[in-house]
Amino acid sequence: MRERPSLVPVPGLEMPPSLVRWSIVLLMLVLAAPVAFAEERRAPAKRSGASRKLLRVPGGERLRSDAALAFQKMHAEAHQQGVWLWVVSGHRSRAEQRYLYRLYRKGLGPRAARPGRSNHQRGTAVDVSVGDVSSAAYGWLSANACRFGFRRTVRSEPWHWEYRPKTTPLPKPGHACPDRYRPLPPAPAEVATPSPS
């Protein structure tokens, strides 16, 4: 009588071949499903080179986590000074950007970038309801946003601000942020160079 070799039994090998085949198919489906569902959300993160999650900012819109944390700080400081930064648009999925771009192309909506070209898809652009450049909200952002890493990037859109901390310089101590799209008001009379008499 032969003795059986003392190998550890492998459960999978004892299954009937059909069951093994179905197990593999099921396993592949389980592995593939989250990838398929995550595709829309993954697209912007892939482009920005980081898979950072999205966080909500006051108003309910979402931004990429680092931009959202910076915006929350900025919002709190503005609020302390009596200014409300009302966010009307933050992160957009590719489908949302495509929809807005189609509306724009048909003349039914405001200017919108081609899908894949908007930093709203990366979660680093935010549209703030500022009215025009003479509003309190715009004035506050113009003077302070750079300290939080935000700046304007589109001349015709005073509401559109982007989080670009690496390329947004801090103001000189005691000075407001420079606003590249709005000329500074004339210097007050007392500090103006006196004209030769």
Binding site for Zn ion (CB under 5 A): 127, 160
Helix orientation angle between 136-144 and 65-80, rounded to the nearest 10 degrees: 120
In the complex, what is the shortest distance from the CB of residue 138 to Zn ion, in angstroms, rounded to a whole number? 14
Distance CA 119, CA 114 (A): 11
- 119 is written with which tokens? 């930093």
Q: Strands 150-152 and 62-64, how do they pair?
A: unpaired
- Residue with smaller CB distance to Zn ion, 78 or 112: 112
- Residue with smaller CB distance to Zn ion, 70 or 185: 70
In the chain, the DSSP E strands lie at: 54-56, 62-64, 87-89, 125-128, 150-152, 160-163
In the complex, what is the shortest distance from the CB of residue 74 to Zn ion, in angstroms, rounded to a whole number? 16
- 118 is written with which tokens? 């908007």
Distance CA 98, CA 100 (A): 6
In the complex, what is the shortest distance from the CB of residue 157 to Zn ion, in angstroms, rounded to a whole number? 6
- Residue with smaller CB distance to Zn ion, 15 or 88: 88
- Residue with smaller CB distance to Zn ion, 66 or 127: 127
In the complex, what is the shortest distance from the CB of residue 165 to Zn ion, in angstroms, rounded to a whole number? 18
Question: By beta-carbon distance, which residue lies closest to Zn ion?
Answer: 160
